[in-house]
Amino acid sequence: MTTIQTKPLTPNFGVEVSGMNLSDVGEGQNFAELRALFEEHSALLFRAQDISNAEHMALAQLFGPIEDRKADERKPGEKFEVPEVSNVQKDGSTSGEMDLHTLNLKSNFLWHSDSTFLPTPALTNILIGRVVTSEGGATELASTRAAWAAMPEALKAKIRGRGIWHRYSHSRRKISPELAELPMFNKWPDQHWNAVWPNPVNGREALYIASHAFKVDGYDETESQALLDELMAFCTQPEFTYSHQWAVGDVLIWDQRAVLHRGTPWPYEQPRTLSSICASVTEDDGIGSIRMPA
């Protein structure tokens, strides 16, 4: 039996895990160990995994309900398909740099946590390298848990105990006003979450922010944006970040309650495809501790 081993991705968070085949993980086989690593380290990297879409979905379901943002668009009998972060179009060509599809991909270059704009946000993203580029196209992570622990008290005091409002179209508007008007970015009402999310397993706190955040309780819009920018800048300093250069078969799993992420540019004529499944939080994941009045 192979022994599960880890080595740090950074001094402050994240580990690379070896000796675990993700396609074999199940409720009674290695998931307890996987979940314990997830809670402790916030970000996990697995290399050279051979994992199908069906296995990808089964793994995500161990963490929680699979997030389905297109449920309202699906025709009767039409099945959920694993979402792809890709510039490859149906005809095999790549989307142009200024196409709305590519602009949406570019909005992922902003630091964010997935789904803060949903009534039930994401616990984790499981991202798999399918088609990778010769340069660029990294996925970068930033630990808001490590950053919060190191943050000066004067800055913490500006946000502690306050709620933050999140809106999907807000992040898209930073890239393109036309993009922000698309129906897919205006499906859900603004969401209101506490700025700090304590982990229910170990009690460690993390700042819960994203590019979707637009208003902080007790501040006007200008003050809110200035504070959010200041907090984001602190959390994304080099000592709190990790940059991953993809190889086919790499798998990244991270805690959306405590980790921001973003993509980086690549030559857009090169195809790039990552398969991505988010699992939603449940009450066991501490969602009750961050609920704020609507």
Residue 1's pLDDT band, with cuts at 50, 70 and 90, is low
What's the pTM value of the predicted model, to 2 decimals? 0.96
In this prediction, residue 150 carries a pLDDT of: 98
* Per-residue pLDDT reduced to its tens digit, 118-128: 999 999 999 99
Q: Percent of the chain at pLDDT above 90?
A: 90
For the chain, what is the domain count?
Answer: 1
Which amino acid is it at 261?
A: H
The alpha helices in the chain, defined as continuous H runs, are 31-41, 53-63, 100-107, 144-150, 153-159, 168-173, 177-180, 221-235
Is residue 294 in some structural domain? no
Question: What distance in Å separates the CA atoms of residue 218 and residue 231, rounded to the nearest whole number?
Answer: 16
How confident is the model over 164-184, as a mean pLDDT? 95
- How far CA 135 is from CA of 34, 53, 102, in Å, comes to 31, 25, 17
In this prediction, residue 2 carries a pLDDT of: 64
* Per-residue pLDDT reduced to its tens digit, 196-224: 999 999 999 999 999 999 999 999 999 99
Here the tokens at position 123 are 């616990």
CATH number at residue 21: 3.60.130.10
pLDDT, the chain, mean: 95
How confident is the model over 16-37, as a mean pLDDT? 94
Assess contact for 98 and 143: CB atoms under 8 A. Answer: no
Identify the residue whose tokens are 């580990």: 15
Residue span of the structural domain in which 164 resides: 5-289
**Maximum Cα interatomic distance, the chain, rounded to a whole number of Å:** 58
Identify the weakest region by mean pLDDT among 37-51, 81-95, 160-174: 81-95
Assess contact for 242 and 13: CB atoms under 8 A. Answer: yes
Residue 292's pLDDT band, with cuts at 50, 70 and 90, is very high
| pLDDT reading at 88 higher than 70 | yes
* Per-residue pLDDT reduced to its tens digit, 222-256: 999 999 999 999 999 999 999 999 999 999 999 99
In this prediction, residue 29 carries a pLDDT of: 84
Is residue 54 in some structural domain? yes
In this prediction, residue 133 carries a pLDDT of: 96
| pLDDT reading at 154 higher than 60 | yes
Is residue 98 in some structural domain? yes
How confident is the model over 5-34, as a mean pLDDT? 95
- Those residues with Cβ within 8 angstroms of residue 99's Cβ, 6 or more apart along the chain or in another chain: none
In this prediction, residue 220 carries a pLDDT of: 97
- Smallest CA-to-CA distance from 212 within 174, 176, 159, 167 is with 167
